[in-house]
Structure 1
Amino acid sequence: MGGDTKPRRARSRSWPVLLTQERARPDRIRERPGAWWLAVATVCFGAFMGQLDASIVTLTYGSLRGEFRASLAAVEWVSLAYLLALVALLIPAGRLSDAHGRKLFYLYGFVVFTAASAACGLAPSLATLVVFRVVQAAGAAMMQANSVALVTTSAPRGKMRTALGVQAAAQALGLALGPTVGGALVSAVGWRWVFGINVPIGIIALVAGHYLLPRTRSHNRADRFDWPGLALLSVATTSLLLGVSAASGLPVPPWAVALLFTTAAGADWAFVQRQLRAPAPLLDLTLLRARAVSTGLAGALCGYLVLFGPLVLVPEALVEAGGSELTAGLVLTALPAGFALAATVADQVLPRAVSDRGRCLLGAAICAGTLGAMLVLPATAGWLVPQLAVLGVGLGTFTPANNTLVMGAIPANCSGTGGGLVNMARGLGTALGVALVTLQLHLAGDGAGRDGWLRAIAVLAAAAGIMLVAAWLSPAGRRTASEGSRQE
């Protein structure tokens, strides 16, 4: 018996190491010529799940209202709580990942997201469901903050844009399948399986990530974590999104809306001051001094605003004109389908001489031109399908190239923070796309179909114009990391 004591103790000591340190990929995987594709494919699991979850949950509103006898305003918190927590936690998750390991945090994100999804499916009340959605958002933040970083540090330099295009296509596929899968699940087996479907996908992705994702080779450690900075960032983002949502038609007095926007501005100013003075800031503001980063983040926010705005606008327009929800869902599929197509084939179609900046300009110009046409053409299913498809092509051309410019200007040891910034811009763009379109429809009043359509399209066209300006101002951008800072 005494001879077994040391091995058992060695094994017991290995458990903390197994749980707190990243493990390298097996040699037979790391040495494969296409090993980076395996890593990108694994990250696509998270990209797909995140967007599937974003578009699938809205299909549960009717069932949730019936089962829990709740109002629509109460049920909307199932989505709103998730979005608020996600946006607030993306940068902190990226910062911690840079310090302790991006693969480690990505895998733990899958654990939290999958467990919370199972809990959401078993929730006994609406309040419990909202709480579990916040936990789910924490897991999603750990994944999303690292998804772009894992892709950019895994792919060879010449393949970075292609890899980011594949990831963007996975996001678009999840977005496209969400309404169809959600509607089928709710109709066939009930709303709880809308969350339950995440469990088997999450388990598969967790196992794949353990073996296929490279470990972090370059860390950016900090002696302490900036908790005051996190609090200020959370207050700023939450107040901003609540203010926009309140202004979009919720029964909230004007003074409360003004207070929310004032609080957001004050917290944002205090956050910047804190980051300038903190010994270990949550966000290194010097990253934003790179023009490719600042313009790229503005472009990313506006790009997702343009992507998600039609998801609210088109169903409202078609249903008000006498169409069905099924017709609206089928018409909307053209947008993410065009996005996925362009994100995956743009490298093969466009000449290699076209730079990332040139691709951004081309994509933004397509978006602006398409939205301009939507201002004058009829808002009918026959006209909308090709217009939405072309709009998706513009976004699919713009987004991977824009993300490449941003991540190429960020040092590899800050890739998690950079990925958190990109995904935070995406989250804010998503929220603003939904909220600003809803606001325009609210301001137009009930029954003012064409007026509301024109108002909303004008907002989206303005966002496309900002994308175009941001692309024009962006430099070519080059990755600053050395080969030794990549992952294995």
Structure 2
Amino acid sequence: MVFSLNRLLQEPAPLAALERQSWHPWLVVGLVSIGAFVGQLDATIVQLALPALGRAFGAPLQQVSWVALSYLLAFASFLPIFGRLCEIHGRKTLYIAGYSLFISASALCALAESFGQLVAFRFLQGMGGALLGANSIAILVQAVPEAARGRALGYFAAAQAVGMSAGPALGGFIVEALGWRWIFGLTVPFGVLAILAGWLALPRGAVGGEKPAFDWGGALLIGPALILLVATLNHVSSWGLASPLTLASLCVAALLLWALRRREAHTAAPLIDPRLFTASAFRWGVLGVVLGYALLYGVFFLMSFGLAHGYGESAREAGLRLALVPVALGLTAPFSHAVRAVLGRWIGPVGMACALAGLAMLWLTFGRSPDHHIWDTVSFLLIGFGLGLFVAPNSTATLAAVSAGLAGAAGSLLNLMRVLGTSLGVAAGASVLTWRLKVETGSARDWLASDGAGLLAAVRTSLPLLALMALIAAFAAQRAAGATRR
């Protein structure tokens, strides 16, 4: 059986005529950048479509949020597992398998006939996304000469930023013009082309060397722990904060995380290296990463419902407005290191102060001002600008806190924490919006039955949760930067 698996995973050689070309490494960069673009596009495009999906299936907030959460949790749960399997068995074949799974699941999502089917297919799509995410940077680094890697990684990061920025606007146009099924179906033909090009152009993985062991215990613990934690946060407003179900779920999640920590501390090849957490700067930086992305996707979740159902804007108009956040983030991030040279360890708090100003403006004007379009635009720009100042410097300080030998493990963990933060932002947004909707309307009516004014008030009074995230993230980033300097 092992022999058969090894033959199945044997990597095909790239086309010799392509491999001889001087531009072959940049073809590889383009292919993995397309994967990065598609991954970020999918993460943001679905956020804008959630109200349309909720109406199509008659789903309450805490159910419709699972369209996003099932993908994100599958991605987070399988990312470290697939990363290790790719180290053992090679990257090219598994990267192509990831594309195949991603586009197959995308097609199934487009054809889903029930809400349960859609959530299940989104989970499969997240597994495919995890296979792509576990391999992309490693394939890029192997293919490109060291002198050109900085430029190649810049293109890769730019593709991610463009995908994140295009998602809301493109999603709005597609939902309005073609319907929600096409946000999944349109990725299929591009994925087929990427599979064919990848088969012909991607290099084989490095051969030789000792293969790392696989941590089966960690693999069995990490997924259930993350899923149970996020599911509890997503449903806490309907279960009740002190209900037996909430408390039992939190206790089981804590037990699984404790068992994972013990397992990783006593295994020779852990999925998550516990040595990373010995540095306080790394611990604080990781907290900042989680909260920064939770803030970003919490804004996406709340505002997609506020704009589409509260104000009754078209999907196209809401998508264009929401796109201001990632566009401002993407335009600001490249200059954040220059700003960091001036502000030093205070760049994180300054960035989050900008985001807090945007949240405060939304809290004062959302659903209250006749000029809300102007105020919303300024608010979204401030939030995106603040996150652009925050994300890259905080990640840099976090990575600088560990030794060079742990840099690869630290980078993989930061990718995991970004996805976990995204999941927590969606779950927290769904739970607090459900709670505030009950308070504002004085009933247990679902969002579909509530009027626009009630939903706008619920969205506005949910914003203090995001402000709390920003405050804690600012403190964490300042501590990470300060500890790194010492």
TM-score (norm 1): 0.78
Shift of 1:53: 1.7
Q: Secondary structure at the match of 1:281?
A: coil
Alignment of 1:350 onto 2:338:
yes
Once the two structures are superposed, the pairs formed by residues 324-363 of structure 1 within 5 Å of their partners are 324-326=313-315, 327-343=317-333, 345-346=334-335, 350=338, 354=341, 358=344, 362=347
Instruction: Quote the RMSD (CA, aligned, Å).
Output: 4.0
Looking at structure 1, the residues matched to 415 and 422 of structure 2 have their Cα atoms a distance apart, in angstroms, of 10
Correspondence 1:65-214 to 2 at 5 A: 73-151=62-140, 163-214=152-203
Number of the residue aligned with 1:480: none
The question of whether the paired residues in 2 share the 8 Å contact of 1:363 and 1:397 is answered with yes
Q: 2:222 aligns with which of 225, 233, 254?
A: 233
Aligned-pair CA distance for 1:292: 6.4
Q: How far apart, CA to CA, are the structure 1 residues paired with 2:20 and 2:284?
A: 35
1:408-434 per-residue CA deviation (whole Å, 9 max, x = no partner) reads 75768984x555422211111111222
Measure how far apart 1:185 and its partner are: 3.1
Please name the residue that 1:10 is paired with.
none
The partner residue of 1:370 within 347, 350, 355 is 355
The one-letter code matched in structure 2 to 1:270 is A
1:468 paired with 2:477, answer yes
Q: Judging changes above 3 Å, is the alpha-carbon distance between structure 1 residues 148 and 395 closer, same or farther for their aligned structure 2 residues? A: farther
Give the Cα–Cα distance (whole angstroms) in 1 for the partners of residues 324 and 137 of structure 2: 25
| Partner Cα distance (1:97, 1:126) in 2 | 33
Q: Deviations over 1:322-358 (max 9, x none)?
A: 4625544332111111122234x438x938x949x95
| Aligned partner letter, 1:335 | V
State how far apart, in whole Å, the 1-side matches of 2:209 and 2:108 are: 34
Q: Which amino acid aligns with 2:44?
A: S
**Whole-angstrom CA distance in 2 between matches of 1:467 and 1:157:** 33
Q: Does 1:383 align with 2:392?
A: no
TM-superposed deviation, 1:116: 1.8
Superposition pairs of residues 29-44 of structure 1, within 5 angstroms = 29=19, 32=22, 37-44=26-33
Change in Cα spacing, 1:47 to 1:403, as seen in structure 2 (3 Å) is farther
Shift of 1:59: 5.3
- Partner SS, residue 174 of structure 1: helix
- Whether 1:305 and 2:306 are equivalent positions in the alignment is no
1:35-85 Cα offsets, whole Å, 9 max, x none, are: 654433322212221222223335555665676666665544333322222
3-state SS, counterpart of residue 20 of structure 1: coil
Deviation at 1:26, TM superposition (A): 4.9
Give 1:157 shift.
Answer: 6.0
Equivalent pairs: percent with the same residue?
Answer: 35
CA contact (8 A) 1:87 1:427 kept: yes
Aligned residues of 1:299 and 1:470 also touching (Cα < 8 A): no
Equivalent-residue separation in structure 1 for 2:306 and 2:54 (angstroms): 24
State how far apart, in whole Å, the 2-side matches of 1:320 and 1:196 are.
25
1:50 alignment partner, SS class: helix
Is 1:432 the counterpart of 2:424 in the alignment? yes
| Structure 2 residues not aligned, in runs of 5+ | 367-371, 441-453
Per the alignment, do residues 361 and 206 of structure 1 end up closer, same or farther by CA in structure 2, a change over 3 Å counting?
farther
* Counterpart secondary structure, 1:475: helix
After TM superposition, the structure 1 stretch with the greater mean CA deviation from structure 2, 401-410 or 241-250, is 401-410
Partners of 1:243 and 1:237 lie apart in 2 by: 10
Mapped contact 1:98–1:413 kept (Cα < 8 A): no
Amino acid at match of 2:274: L
Q: CA deviation at 1:388?
A: 2.4
Partner of 2:38 in structure 1?
49
Structure 1 unmatched ranges of 5 or more: 1-12, 478-488
Change (3 A) 1:283 1:73: closer
**Alignment correspondent of 1:486:** none
Q: Residues 15 and 441 (structure 1 numbering): CA distance in 2 closer, same or farther, change over 3 Å?
A: closer
What CA distance in whole angstroms lies between the structure 1 residues aligned with 2:275 and 2:15? 33
Which residue does the alignment assign to 2:465? 456
Q: Deviations over 1:266-293 (max 9, x none)?
A: 1100011111223443333224446665
Contact 1:98–1:220 (CA<8 Å) still a contact in 2? no
SS in 2 for 1:384: helix
> What secondary structure sits across from 1:47 in the alignment?
helix
- In 2, are the aligned partners of 1:145 and 1:423 still within 8 Å (CA)? no
Which has the larger displacement, 68-77 or 98-107? 68-77
Q: Distance in 2 between matches of 1:214 and 1:413?
A: 25
Shift of 1:241: 0.2
Amino acid of the structure 1 residue aligned with 2:216 = W
Aligned to 1:262: 251
Distance (whole Å) between structure 1 residues aligned to residue 392 and residue 140 of structure 2: 12
> Size of the alignment, in residue pairs?
458
